[in-house]
Amino acid sequence: MTGWVQTYGITEEEDVQWQLILQDDMDDLPEEDLEDEELMTFLADQPAVVAFLEAFLRKYREHSAVYPR
């Protein structure tokens, strides 16, 4: 697990999910992810994606850690 993920209390699963949302938004999902029916169903469900991102951001903002510059 990467340092920033641990610093902000983000789980590895949440980190991966966030990255997949970004890759999908950039039309850059790997072929194996495009074939993952569960993932594609989630990514097509805009309210679910927004709810995940809002919760992810809230978790990040609520944590007291300060990322070093």
Average pLDDT over residues 64-68: 62
CB 33 within 8 A of CB 20: yes
Higher confidence at residue 17 or residue 69?
17
Of the pLDDT bands very low, low, confident and very high (cuts 50, 70, 90), residue 51 is very high
pLDDT score, position 22: 96
Cα distances (angstroms) measured from residue 61 to each of 10, 36, 43, 49: 11, 31, 24, 18
